[in-house]
Amino acid sequence: MANVVVVGAQWGDEGKGKIVDWLSERADVIARFQGGHNAGHTLVIGGTVYKLSALPSGIVRPGKLSVIGNGVVLDPWALLAEIARIADQGVTVTPENLMIAENTPLILPLHGELDRAREGQNAVAKIGTTGRGIGPAYEDKVGRRVIRVADLADAETLETRLSRLLAHHDALRSGLGLPPVDRAALSALLAEVAPKILPFAAPVWKVMNEMRRAGKRILFEGAQGALLDVDFGTYPYVTSSTTMSGMAATGTGMGPTSVGFVLGIVKAYTTRVGEGPFPTELFDADGERLGTRGHEFGTVTGRKRRCGWFDAVLVRQTCAISGVNGIALTKLDVLDGFKTLKICTGYDIDGQRFDYLPTAAALQARVLPIYEELEGWSESTAGARSWADLPGAAIKYVRRVEELIQCPVALLSTSPERDDTILVTDPFAD
């Protein structure tokens, strides 16, 4: 049976949570493979709103196994708080339905402190970090000094890891005017949280490969979006992990042949949170209208998102890099009522036309979008569940998007509700 990996094909906030939830009904395993609790997913099910950040979106479905893979950086205290929060909404999380990879790196309080101190003192160019310690935790991972879930089970190993970690962080903190880390207090925190986290720990790579061989369907859930990728995003205004589909394999301990169908989630317009280039950003009434109708505020931070017209250049680029087989086009209903719509089909940089976004920051800063105008529609698309429910102009818009990004629409979402989805191509089909 085919597996499916879901990735954002813009700057995140594309509606991955709803699509993963919709697909998870037919999956046996839902696995997060990168990112941290800075990336939120909102699910609306039967009028109930679930806001998730560390937990995989499949956790709200009974009988499914949710997995936090080794490509994630995990704040154990944030995870426990999230488990308690959704328990109040009737969702029970136990080691039976949640598994955490033993080699998952941990985000500690010192990571968040470092993150916020750096951003606060960066007067040259702020990155726009959420301050939750994701970047510093990934730095410690590649610096070979991070504490991982398995380390919580062995006091001697943990003390060795702490010595290596604090030798690095105390030097950094001194340069930022921060006091040394209180080692005793940190050790106490880890001792207190260990018995709450360790029951979820498991050799995820082994369990996942066994499930694949048994014919179980696996849904890989990415966080953020391709344009925030540390290699291919709008660097340095990016996240600290690989957000492309290839990370699904390494972030869970499975080989690249296990990934299967790659589904890119694409919003019918474009948004971005934080700093960095945004070629189609709008500063007028149309931009305000998109933000208001689309409820464009961050799930985790509450920050207002920047809004703009659909950028076909960027989506074509991210679909190619991530090997997207089909897209899920979301929030089409937000465009209802616009008399005219615009799609960016190319860039003008100093009089030269580009059909991709150059890597050089200086060139990105001088990009001017080249637009194609399309007729809008006055009818409502909200809640449509078949092509017959859509206005002709809306169908024409969708088809033009497909042509420009050189990738077909597999799913079409017309509201935040789970069932307001038009299936065109089944990602789980063999």
| Enzyme catalytic residues | 13, 41
| DSSP three-state, residue 3 | coil
Closest to 33 in 3D by CA, of 228, 223, 231: 223
Residue 3 CB partners (closer than 8 Å, separation 6+) = 212, 217, 218, 219, 220, 258, 259, 260, 261
Cα-flanking dihedrals φ and ψ of residue 137, to 5°? -65, -40
Q: What would the two tokens of residue 310 be? A: 């659909």
Whether 208 contacts 31, CB under 8 Å: yes
Torsion of CA 140, 193, 252, 212, to 10 degrees: 170
**Positive or negative: CA dihedral 138, 143, 146, 148:** positive
The verdict on whether omega for the bond into residue 76 sits within 30 degrees of 0, i.e. cis, is: no
Please compute Rg for the chain using Cα positions: 22
Q: Is 172 helix (H, G, I), strand (E, B) or coil?
A: helix
- C-alpha 313/C-alpha 370 separation (Å) is 10
Cα distance from N-terminal residue to C-terminal residue, the chain: 6
**Which has the closest alpha carbon to 4: 418, 327, 428, 321?**
428
CA 145 to chain centroid, in Å, comes to 25
Name the residue among 210, 221, 284 with its Cα closest to residue 254.
Answer: 210
DSSP 8-state assignment for residue 104 = P
Reference 75, options 27, 31, 119, 130; nearest CA is: 130
Q: How do strand 218-221 and strand 29-32 relate by DSSP bridges?
A: parallel
| Interatomic CA distance for residues 132 and 108, integer angstroms | 10
